[in-house]
A = this chain, B = another copy of it.
Amino acid sequence: MENVQEKQIVLWPHDEFELRLSKIRSEMEATSTEALLLTDNANIYYLTGRVFAGYAYIPLKGMPIFFVKRPVELEGDGIVYIRKPEEITASIGMSAPSNIALELDVLPYSMASRLIPVFPGAEIRNASPLMRTVRAVKTPLAMDMLRQSGAKHTRVYRRIPGLFQEGMSDYDLQVSIEHLSRLQGCLGQFRISGDTMELYMGNVLAGRNADAPSPYDFAMGGAGMDPSLPVGANGTLITPGTTVMVDINGNYNGYMTDMTRVFALGDLEPLAERAHQCSIDIHHALCDMMHPGTPAKALWEKAEQIVTEADLKPYYMGHRQHAGFIGHGVGIEINELPVIAPRSRDIIQEGNVIALEPKFVIPHVGAVGIENTYIVHSDHVECITLAPEEIIYFDR
């Protein structure tokens, strides 16, 4: 697209770039960090609005330097083409920092060990928590991008009933929804922090597949079609009396929304309907609390209380295997801060974008419950995933 063909290394509007840089620098200042070296694609994109192979060097004061390996032909202030990270030392020269933060939570050990001597004498710190903190509070531009992803994501979800055909399995429906999503401009890849998480286009899980114990740390993972990639649809037929849970990729512009809805055939047992309503009730209760200053774990506890009072605990967040969180920040990656979990130390902030996903697995029925993405404002919470929330019956 046009944007990519631009050769400017910074694709964000000037003010947006300055805003992001200043957000990073105020965290650096707060932690007495003198310099930061970013190389993770998600962080490089956060700062510049594009992905490049190389490093963004951000001193607390002075111009950032972009050390670029690929692509060729980039233009802009502060670009230095390099082939090896060791070439960074010469460019920094006299202004070598006394400490530097590297992305130690994502940088492979071998690469970090190679980067550390590039900054001789500097104390090495971890940039990952710092960048997670910065990225947890979205800029107004990012919020607009999230609203746009949410609108496209919603449009796809509204069309799901039209995709269903009798005799479909969860895999058939997943492939149809993926195709529709791509036709609507879905970029086709979830970004997830960490190499151990793997996901393609999200999950469509019918009936008992929703309860398949997963190796991945998703709320519900599914068994997948092959043990080499055990996630998502596994070919379970969509049959009367069972549900199919759709949790499909909402990445339309680099900032993604997360949304889950439930579809069904025939009549569901009352327990399933009741649990689905309980999920909606939890959303309402949590939205009433999800204001700046609320501890994330208070949200988790409130949900626990509602579930316990409704006597639905055995089904909550899985039946055979239980997920350890009911919500998470979302943005460039699907697993950002804050985390809504029992031992979370995060505090809700204005500008957080949070996906809440209190879900249930009902044996012999499947998964119920919804997931929405919310923007936290100073005095209210804005839902940006607006597809209908009730269970949609394909045959009614």
Contact = CB atoms under 8 A, between A and B. Distances in A.
A59 to B, nearest CB: 22
A5 B208 CA distance: 11
Given A39-B196, A213-B72, A223-B4, A229 B107 contact: no
A253 B224 CA distance: 11
Interface in A256-291: none
Q: A45, A71, A253, A255 — which one has the most chain B CB atoms within 10 A of its CB?
A: A71
A254 B230 CA distance: 10
A227 B321 contact: no
Contacts of A200: 187-189, 200
Given A105-B110, A110-B104, A213-B71, A51 B226 contact: no
| Contact size range, A | 35 or more
Interface in A47-93: 49-53, 70-73
A76 B179 CA distance: 39
A207 to B, nearest CB: 13
Contacts of A73: 213, 320-321
Interface of A, secondary structure class, is: loop
A99 interface: no
A4 B182 contact: no
Contacts of A223: 1, 4-5
Contacts of A102: 109
A332 B228 CA distance: 9
A109 to B, nearest CB: 4
Interface in A172-209: 175, 178-179, 182-183, 185, 187-189, 191, 194-196, 198-201
B70 A215 contact: yes
Count of this chain's copies in the oligomeric assembly? 2
B104 A71 contact: no
Nearest to A71: B213
A165 interface: no
Interface string A200-242: 1100000000001111110000011111111010110000000
Nearest to A201: B188
A70 B227 contact: no
Q: A11, A185, A196 — which one has the most chain B CB atoms within 10 A of its CB?
A: A196
A128 interface: yes
Contact of A182 (B53, B178, B253): B178
A183 B171 CA distance: 9
A4 B234 contact: yes
A299 B386 CA distance: 56
A212 B4 contact: yes
A212 B194 CA distance: 28
Contacts of A234: 1, 4
B105 A107 contact: no
A51 B183 CA distance: 31
Contacts of A4: 212, 223-224, 226-227, 230, 234
Interface of A: 1, 3-5, 11, 39-41, 45, 49-53, 70-73, 102, 104-113, 126, 128, 175, 178-179, 182-183, 185, 187-189, 191, 194-196, 198-201, 212-217, 223-230, 232, 234-235, 251, 253-255, 320-321, 332
5 contacts: A70-B216, A71-B213, A73-B213, A191-B198, A227-B254
